[in-house]
Every structure is written in C-alpha cells, then in structure tokens.
Amino acid sequence: MPSKILAIIFMIYSNILRTSSLRASGAGSGWEQKSLFRKEDFNLQEGPKGQNLRIGLASPEQIRKWAERILPNGESVGRVLRPHTIHYQTHKPETDGLFCERIFGPIKSGFCSCGKYKGPRPEGDSPPFCEQCGVELTDSRVRRHRMGYIQLASPVTHVWYLKNRPSVISHLLEMPLKDVESLVYCGSFILGPGTYSKFRLLGTLRIGTHERAYKRILTRKRLRARKHFFQTKPNPSDPLSIKIRQNNPEAAQLGPEGRQTSIKLSQRIILARKRLLKMASKPILEPKLICNKFYVPWRIALELFLSKWYRDCESREIITGGYGIQRMLINLNLQNKLVSLQKNWEKVVEQTEKMWFPVSGKYKNSEHSADIQREKRLIIRSSKIIRDLIQSKTQPEWMVLSVLPVLPPDLRPIVELREGLLITSDLNELYRKVLFRNEDLSIWLSYQGTLVLSGLLARLQRASLQRAVDALLANGMASSTFRDYNKRAYKSFSALIKGKKGRFRENLLGKRVDYSGRSVIVVGPLLALHECGLPREMALELFQPFIIRELIAKQLAPNLRAAKSMIQNKEPIIWKVLQVIVQNRLVLLNRAPTLHRLGIQAFQPVLVGERAIHLHPLVCAGFNADFDGDQMAVHIPLSWEAQVEARILMWSPSNLLSPATGRAVAVPSQDMLLGLYVLTLEGSIGIYGNRHLFEQPADLRSLLSTKLHELKEDEEHQTLRASRYITGSVKKDKQYQYMKDSHDASTYPDCMKNKSIDPLFKPRRPIFYNYDDVIISLQQGALPNLFCFLWLRWETKYPVVSSRKGPIEYQFDSSGNSVNIYENSYIKKNQKARRVSKYILTTAGRVLFNQQIQQSIQEHFTSLRTEGPALNASTFPIKES
C-alpha cells in the first residue's frame, strides 16, 4: 500500500478519534505530499508523521493545540464562533463558521475566499496566505484533517463517562448516578469550598458541656436581658404579634411601654431555654434581641440565622452543572482514593469472615450479606477505574469538556444536488445547536447579577447546552433525543463510528486484502504459545507464489504452468515444500473488530489436516475470542521487512501485557483452570471416598458399584477426611488407609528399584529422585493416578511451605546421622549437622504440571535463540501439599 494512502487513512482515523475528545498521536516515518505547492510555504508538515495511534482522554490544552494555528501576520485561527455554514446565495463558507476557509483551509487549491488569488502559481511568486481574507493558500486536502474547536461558556460532562454502565464519574465521586445526573443537568447544586465549613457550624457545636456551665450561661444571659430591658422597642401591634402574645402568657406580661422590670418564667419556658443553651455554649444573639423575642421559638430561629449566618449565605457561591463535576474531580486525589478503597476492602472482608459459618457454609443474615457483596463489587470497579487512570496518566477532570473539538468539514460535508437542493450531514445540525445554545448562555452569564431572573435562566441554559453536547456525542443516550422536521433522530458521532456500518469497521478496517483467508477457530491444546494451527488447504493457497518459486528454484518444475499443475494435482512433493516454507515464516491472525493492538498478532504456523484454525487458548483474551463459532482472518507478511517487524512487534510472546493498563492478558481461565486444579489435587478419591474410607482402591470401586444407602459407617469415619491419612508421618493404625503401606517392589519400574532408603525414616510412599522417574512411573502404571502422594528429592534452596516452623520429630542413629521430619518434608543430615538430602511430599500431578511449565519455557527461550544458562528443575519450585 503506498505511503500516501496510509497517510490519508491515518488522517481520517485520527480525526475521528479527536472529535470524541480522545487523543491520537502519530509516530513513525514521514510521508511526502506531492502537489503544485511547496510544503515549506504552505505548512503541510502539520499532517501526521506515521501510522501509530495512542487513544486516550485529551486535555483542553491538547484540543486547542489540534486546531489553533498562527498565521504569518500573528493572528490565531481555529476557534469556531458562529453557527452558520454557507451563504444561502453564493454557497460560500461563512467566516468563523463551521465551514470557514480561514480555519479549515481553502475549498479549491490555491484559491482564497475573496478572489485575490486564483489557482496555483510558480514557487516564490505567491505568499503563504491572502492578506485580505486570511485564507492560507495550500492544498484543499487539508480540509480532511484540519480541526476547529468551540470554547464552551460553561463546562459540560462527557456523556460516555456519565451514562455508560458502569458510570465512571459516579464511581469516582462515590455518588449515586441519579445525584450525579441531577447535578449535571442543574437540578441540584453544591456550595463553594470557601463557605462550606461555615454551614457546618451547627454540627460542630458543643453539646456535652457540664451542667454547671449551662447554669452559668443561663444566669449571664438573664442578667444581660434585665440590663437592656428598657432599651427594647415596644411590642408591635400587628395581628401576628398580638396572636403570639395571646398564646404565650409570658410574652403578654411585657407592656408596650416597658413598665415591668422582671418576668416570672414558667417551668416550660425555663426548660426550653436550657435546651436552647445546650446547643450553643457561647452568645448567639445580641442583648437587645433577647428581652422581648427570646421566648418565641420561630423568632429565635430567625434572629439566630440573621445574626450569624445571613451574611455568609448572602455571599455564598452556588456551583451546578458540569462546572460542579469538574471542581469535584479536580479536588480528587487518585492515590489517596486508592488507599481508602483498600482500607474499605479490608473492613468488608473482615465483616464477611465474621458472618461466615464454617460448619454450615452459610451467612447469618442473607440481606446484610447481599449488601456486603454489592459493596465489594463497587470497591472492585472503583479501584479498577482508578488504577487505569493512574497507569495511563489521565486526569479525571478531562471527562468534563470545556473545549469541544470540531470535526474537519470534509468528513461532515454539504452536498449540492440538482436544482440547488442541498443535503447536509447530521453532525452539522448538531454542531449548530451547540453553538446557538452556547451563545445564549454567554449572553445570560453577562447579565447575571443585574437582572432578577438571570441566575435561573443561566442554569436552565446550562442544562440546555449539556443536552446539546450529549446529542452531538451520543444522541439518545441521555434523556432526550434530537430529531429533525420529519421526526427522524439525528445520527450522532457515536452512531457514525460504531457497529459494522461505522467508519472503523466498514471504511478503515473492513477492506479486502490479497494473500488472506478466513476460517473458524478451535482450541489447540497441544500448541505452543507462539504457534497456530493452519489448515493445509488454506496454507497451500496462501503460500502458492512461494511454492511456485521454490519448485522452479529446486528444478522440480520447468516453468510456471508446470508448477501450478503440480499444485492443483496436490502431488506429495508439494506438502514437503510447503512444510519447509512454513517453518521460516510468520502469519498474522486478526479477529474483527480490531479495537486495540492485541486484535492482530503474529504466529508460527503449524500445518493441520482440519479446515479450522487452531488457536492457543491463552491468546484468546487479547483477541476477545471464544470457541463458539468465531472466525479469524489469516494474512501473510510478504516482504522480509514485514516478517522482521511481525516477529519483533507483533509476535504473540511479545504481547503478554495490555498496552493500555499494563496488566497480564495471557491469563488462564475456564477449562485451563479446571485442568490445573485437577493436576494439583491432594490425594482426592472423590466425594464418596472422602466420606467413606477404604483400605484399598479396589474397595472404593466395589463400593461405587453398590448402593450407597446399604453402607452404614461409624459417625467418626464419616467426618474424617482422606487427607488426614496421607501425610508423611508413620501411623500404626492401618484401618483407614486407602493406599498400601508400601508398594510391591515387583510393580516398580526400573527407575525405582535398587534405591536405598534411609534406615531411620521409612516412609510408606514411593521415593523418586527427579521428574523423569515420576513421568516414567506414570507411563508404566506404577502410580495409580495423578493424585497419589510421593516423596521427591528436592535440591533447591527454596523453603518448603508449612504451617509449622519447627520439625515434628527428630531421629538419630548410633553414627550421629539424623533425620528432621517436618509436616511436608524431611531432611537428612550427617554427623556434622550438614544437609545430605531433602525430600518433599507432593503429588504426581504437580510434578507433571511443573515439568510441563519448565519444558514450555525452555522451548520459548530456544525459539528466541537467546544465549544464557540452561534452566533446571530447581528454577520452578513445586507447591507442596
């Protein structure tokens, strides 16, 4: 594919990503654009430099950097100010509109909008831009990748991170989704940080003061009230005050002229006053307000509010809309949040352990346990989101848009049909709605504080702007759906890129490619991680040019026609040639949709007789594939440069970690975990065998063939587990053994015969000296199954996992040799207390498991052709029982 076509595809791809406020950065080899203009004069070097993409959230500064350009006269262009598209008569783009030539480039190459420059001119004869209209005289193809931006009057929340399930913003703020939506659409508000602490004053008042302090405060206030009694104003004569004095005899004692100097308080008023003073141990009212109005409850609250907190409430800052979400996300510390979630997780786990019955295996309170499980899921989701943000170096406040990118005009065109009929993209209408509402909001914000309803109207306009941006990004995801005059829903940005008919899968990734094939995938359990099973018939067709070249070079065919005839007849020599060709080449496997880098990887092909592609199960997570009928495509890198690049960058052993989060992708799951579990079982003899213990395995088989209800065992036998009787310590009681105390030597393989056993410690399990002896015994049938216990000589210095630190028993002989017996191992020492040998208790399945891991890693290093020390068995310790 020519480099120019790759560059154009990159431009379309990156601009689509940029419009969703995602950042896409290019890296790689440059590309030359051939035209009638000089690249250094027309600033064509601002285009993409390669084909590598990095997708993520973009900051407002990055969005402005995409669109802003500085003209030679020092003027900055890139911001879209007007909601107009083209003039209705001339059909020319409007200045500072959605199709402005100053922002996005000229419609015709070398033509400006005012008509001063028409067509290309020789090099050095034309300036880089028009002095009158400010249009840059460059190639018209720049209108496919040049972007603009809209400076929003108020920040708006990105609907993808608000409405998708799970809601990222809701999990980060630990708020219910309904509360977050109410704040986003201006249905609720939060207070600014400067006044928030003052409104919490009532919650911090002291209420635990001693009783003597209450009496002292009450006495002081009473004396102050008497002192200022004659300074009070006469009782008002309004109907409300008269009604209050009628219902309160104490208030009626106060004459209008203040002739009385004392008031006899009833017991009810004294108790009410004490309760009030308990709420605040400091003066809360001015002295002149206490005398006549202290005993009216509603007036007390009113005067308390007006005297202390009215000024704070009057000057407070009400924050709502996307600006409130942005302020909360800016104040969010991701590291501290992650530590807090870890502490909450430990508390939840502790609560779960307290509620669990070890005998019955049930929870005490099922309703409370459901709440705990729900809280666990929330903690896991929140921690995953925070870790992803930290690892990708993304700021959470970037989820709130203060600068909205504008797609290049050639990707949302206006097409003129016959008789002057114009059709336009739905994105243009949605952009116009955003610009109209953004302009209205700017007007109302400028009038805020001067008009009575300016604040209310500004909040309504904020919500309207939020809905317009939601419709642009994902129409219908929010509460309302924008429609045209025919009641048809507008196609938003999300609708244009998602699905099989979207821009990615249909236009950019869905092209037909030569030297490629497609087939159903099935699991290949015998494959290595870097291998894939390729059907012979498919490989014969894909590698046909290479087979023809090899046949002619080896003089197996005289010409092209004879070589093709041999391939059609499928002569035996063809398969041998194909096998040689396949050994030295990699193939690319791709599963649609290719959403990230792991969607296409390179493998070493292995020819198989079936018609399905065989795939290693560990690479399925990167492809997001399963074996329920999924199909994958095979591509052949033709040149040696492509083969080298595929082996270095795209080979499956080089893509074990996710490029987005850094976590492991090649993780076993499903039947792989089940197989590993079976291989590492500890002497399991089944459900019935755990309940009923036998002396011989034949007894178990005979019992399984009879009826279960005919067997009546003792209660003690039913509760004991088989694992109790398969430890390494000597047991005199042989009634509950399910294996022989010692195997017959005649049944041992050659590797187990003539082996000296320590005279001190005589275990009843077979002893092996290396992995190969165990494998041979399994193949010859000397070991009954994978779960039987055995002693294996262990030369590594890694400690053996045990629940006890010290030995269970010490044994000595007359020569001074000793044996230290542990729970899962025993160590033989000489007279100088130096270790001679060590044996661990393990199972045949675990030995097989570790041997397979060792073999796979050695094959991997051999395939990489790396030089280094050989790997031995001690490199991979076995997990002991």
Binding residues: 112, 114, 130, 133, 626, 628, 630
Beta-strand relationship, 76-77 and 600-608: unpaired
Burial of 156 (0-12, 13-18, 19+ CB in 10 A): buried
CA–CA distances in Å: residue 386 to residues 23, 160, 173, 328, 366: 19, 17, 11, 15, 30
Burial of 286 (0-12, 13-18, 19+ CB in 10 A): exposed
Q: What is the largest CA-CA distance in the chain?
A: 135
Give me the sign of the Cα torsion angle 64, 68, 70, 75: negative
SS3 at position 172? helix
Distance CA 224, CA 776 (A): 102
Q: Are 816 and 831 in contact (CB under 8 A)?
A: yes
CA angle 680, 686, 687 (to 5 degrees): 125
CB contact set of 878 (below 8 Å; sequence gap of 6+): 792, 794, 840, 842, 846, 847, 850
CB contact set of 115 (below 8 Å; sequence gap of 6+): none
Q: Which two tokens stand for residue 768?
A: 């092996």
Beta strands in 738-868 (DSSP E): 767-768, 789-793, 809-812, 818-821, 825-829, 835-843
Q: Enter the DSSP assignment of 72.
A: T
Residue with tokens 């300074």, as numbered in its chain: 231
Distance CA 878, CA 442 (A): 69
| 3-state SS track over 323-338 | HHHHHHHHCCCHHHHH
Q: Which two tokens stand for residue 435?
A: 């610009």
CA–CA distances in Å: residue 13 to residues 32, 306, 309, 394, 413: 19, 61, 56, 21, 17
Q: What is the per-residue burial (b if ≥16 Cβ within 10 Å, else e) of 6-28?
A: bbbbbbbbbbbbbbbbbbbebee
Enumerate the known binding-site residues for Zn(2+): 112, 114, 130, 133
Enumerate the known binding-site residues for Mg(2+): 626, 628, 630
